[in-house]
Structure 1
Amino acid sequence: MAQVHLSSPPYILLVEQDYFIIPELRRAMERLGVPHRRVVFRQSPDFLKELFEAVDSRRPDFILTVNHAGLDGEGQVLELLRRRGVPLASWFVDRHEMYMRGPVSPDALLAVFSWDPQAPKSIARTGVAYSGYLPLAADPECFRQPVEEVRCSGVGFVGSSWTGKVVDVLKAGRYGAELLRGFKPLAKKWLESPQTPVFRFLRGEKALYEIWKSLSDEARTLYIRLVQMEATRKHRVHFVRQLLPFRPVVVGDAYWRKTLAGLGEYEWMPRLSYREELPGFYGRNAVNFNVTSLQSYASVNQRVFDVPACGGFLLTDAGEALERLFDPGKEVVCYDRPEDVGPQVSRWLEDSAGRRKVVEAARHRILAEHTYEHRLAEIASVMRKVF
């Protein structure tokens, strides 16, 4: 792995939460020798008390949080940090619109990073001091090649069916009959044009739009999320169905069993532990299949880094963001349309030497450029330059 060095490591106050990227960031700090302190985020006044006690006991060079955890919509936390001269870095690995709903004070000490290369322009319009693209990465100590060669065992897919997520939002939203009838047609339209904001399709349905406008801010946001989730559910199921002729192993929620019932042969497995079990699963499959959620259509997800890092071959959907990170055809293999999936899977199942060559190239690129040490070093560099 290419060594990453920080000439003068910053002291970071990390806002922790139950999210997959947090342990990766913590381990990257430890490997880089970055001094840090952790404060666990929770919806309680005790969190802010602990946060500012930590700030006042030893002033950090900056605070690092993910998806704006710890910040309020009114900007009060940012104002208190400004008075203390403490900048904050927020790394979005989800849609920033869900968390940033208004302008930011022009003197706020806030830098925002996003895993979506299209997001920084929109984020910049809120008035933040810095907005930039920062993709996900790999933890090479967790997702690493096994010491002994693992025998390949076919096609594997890991991911949610998104059905449970749709059900959860429906329960939380408690929407009336008109909104319930309307979300699936809207999802179908957005599925065909995910680069178009859902709001534009909604505004085109005048009666539905008027009902939606009468909801609270939270309920309106949740409804947009519902439309996006339903579209992603349909999108993902359609692509995974293309794998059924190859009798894949599908790892995810139990809804897959109902969704794929009677459509073909497959093996279902419940969710695997991210750090303890997934590396071994990825490494043993001849072909690991990936389909990006529509909310993230312009970016790349975690599997793009994790699978090659542990010696697994990945077949994933094409996109501009992927081409910015890897060399298509050499370091990554892609499909464009559903009808491309079957031929691509067939080809690569039969070419073990070709798979190894792609995996080695991808893994070399990841270790050289796409680890969490690289991402943390980028954040530290930006924070030093901007603040």
Structure 2
Amino acid sequence: MVNLKTYFSYKKFAGQTLRIVYLNQSYFLQEESIRLLREMGHEIEVLNIPDTPKTMLDALLKTCLQVKPDCIISVNHFGFDYEGKIASVLADLDLPVLVWYLDDYRFIIPDASPLAQPNMLLFTIEKQDIPHLKRLGFDAAHYLPTGSPLPPGKKYDTGAYAYLNRAVSFIGGTFEDTRLRWRKDGYEALFKTAMPAGFQPQSGRFFIDTLKTKIGSRFDSEAEFYHFAGYAAARATQSYRSELLRSVSPHPLHIFGDSHWSRFRLPAQLHPPVDSLHTAPQIFAASLINLNMSSVQLKTALNLRLYDVPLCGGFLLTDWKEDLAELFDVDREAAVYHSAEEMKEKIDYFYKYPEKRQPIIRRAAERIEREHLLIHRLKRLITIARERFNPAS
């Protein structure tokens, strides 16, 4: 290890062009991030994550020996073992690691402390998580929201979905596969007992935190609680979305999502899932109203709909999240609802006055193109990493 330490003792982040080892799991925003980092002029070596930690460590060290990287980038700590062995080796070799959490870290690594190392720079879409991450030992934790990977200025309304011009559309899933993945005997009964009465994600109450306060003491460990919380979040999101979608009637509703929607018997025309980079933008652009209904596990963070829909020239009606007020001028750049009743009222309003949508779409798109593209986030990530690992640069 002494020889390896010497080998990797070169100055990191010394040049404008960075050498980056990117740990790829073919996950949300990874392909787009790799492409954009290359467009920014960086040299990206993609390492597809092997099945086992031992194989992963061997492959990672071999790749780093070949590349001599300025840093390693991961999403959601993909490629790392929960015991922190890989993280410890990389810290000992003084190889910077940048991790961007695009999901709630508590479902991935309930006990995150073994992964906390001085060479690790953490980014999260949830600003509310930063104090807790720092208490776990991640001293360098930063807020970094998502951003649109779609190219601005492109014409997305191709006419292929003209039948949506007077319709409400929702692109999204039931979370049924997620619910089944987390399910254990007794979970459904416990969910019905523990579900916060009258819970609405827009209320400012955080679902997982509320759940933990109510029944966390019933579980022997953090990992056991978060296993149940994964089930409960999927189940609650199902209930939340299906209730809201029922409120769209009598307006025509089109749902693009998984086959499980059929069992909810909603007053809607159902369609298969669509590709997020090619087909979804055409639907966004064509629909009179696009609905956004966040997963209940999100605290204050925004999902990609807030950025993608206006950038495509589409109109979005979204549930309230606190970060809206930080990232947009809510009164001029967004249409927001706080309940099923308010959502229905606003759908009725925009059906009656469809011309009122255009200024909101235009202003939101201008804001997104100026501040909220994925490339803006990646530039921010690299800037923070330079300041951390080579402040003189």
Q: What interval of TM-score do these two structures reach, taking the shorter chain for normalisation? A: 0.7 to 0.9
**Equivalent residue runs for 1:1-387 within 5 Å:** 8-44=16-52, 45-100=54-109, 101-104=111-114, 107-141=117-151, 144-146=154-156, 151=162, 152-170=165-183, 173=184, 175=185, 177=186, 179-189=187-197, 191=199, 193-195=205-207, 196-203=209-216, 209=218, 212-213=219-220, 219-261=224-266, 265-387=267-389
Sequence identity (%)? 22
Change (3 A) 1:274 1:336: same
CA contact (8 A) 1:142 1:279 kept: no
CA contact (8 A) 1:79 1:108 kept: no
* Two-structure CA RMSD over aligned residues (Å): 2.3
* Distance (Å, rounded) in 2 between the aligned partners of 1:321 and 1:121: 17
- After the TM superposition, which of the residue ranges 244-253 and 285-294 deviates more from structure 2? 244-253
Equivalent-residue separation in structure 2 for 1:105 and 1:292 (angstroms):
29
Cα distance in 1 for residues equivalent to 2:336 and 2:17: 38
User: Secondary structure at 1:38's aligned position in 2?
Assistant: strand
C-alpha separation between the residues in 1 aligned to 2:233 and 2:271? 26
Q: Deviation digits for residues 72-114 of structure 1, max 9, x if unmatched? A: 2222112211222211111111111123314257753111111
Report the CA distance shift for 1:293/1:169 in structure 2 as closer, same or farther (over 3 A): same
Distance in 1, matches of 2:85 and 2:158, equals 54
Partner Cα separation in structure 2 for residue 382 and residue 72 of structure 1? 25
> TM-score of the superposition, structure 2-length normalised?
0.86
Q: Shift of the alpha carbon at 1:322?
A: 1.1
User: Separation in 2 of the partners of 1:198 and 1:68?
Assistant: 25
Between the aligned partners of 1:203 and 1:143, the Cα distance in structure 2 is: 48
Q: How many residues align?
A: 365
Residue-by-residue CA offset, 1:21-57 (whole Å, 9 max, x unaligned)? 1012012112212211100113223332221111111
Q: In structure 2, give the amino acid aligned to 1:164.
A: D
- Which letter maps to 1:115? I
Query: Does the Cα contact within 8 Å between 2:318 and 2:336 map onto a contact in 1?
Result: yes
Deviates more, 1:91-100 or 1:345-354: 345-354
When normalised by structure 1's length, the TM-score is 0.88
Structure-2 separation of matches of 1:43 and 1:217? 25
Q: Kindly indicate whether the alpha-carbon contact (under 8 Å) linking 1:188 and 1:231 is maintained by their aligned counterparts in 2.
A: no
User: Structure 2: which amino acid aligns with 1:247?
Assistant: P
SS of the residue aligned with 2:74? strand
| CA distance in structure 1 between the aligned counterparts of 2:138 and 2:268, rounded to whole angstroms | 48
Within 2, Cα distance between the matches of 1:229 and 1:191? 14
The alpha carbon displacement at 1:275 in A equals 1.6
* Residues 159/13 of structure 1: CA separation in 2 closer, same or farther (3 Å cut): same
| In structure 2, C-alpha distance between the alignment counterparts of 1:338 and 1:357, rounded to whole Å | 24
Report the AA paired with residue 235 of structure 1. Y
SS of 2:45's equivalent?
A: strand
**Structure 1's 13 and 190: CA in aligned 2 closer, same or farther, altered over 3 A?**
farther
The residue identity in structure 2 corresponding to 1:270 is P
- Aligned-partner Cα distance in 2 for 1:217–1:107: 21
Question: Residue 224 of structure 1 aligns to a residue in which SS?
Answer: helix
Contact 2:75 2:102 in 1 (8 A): yes
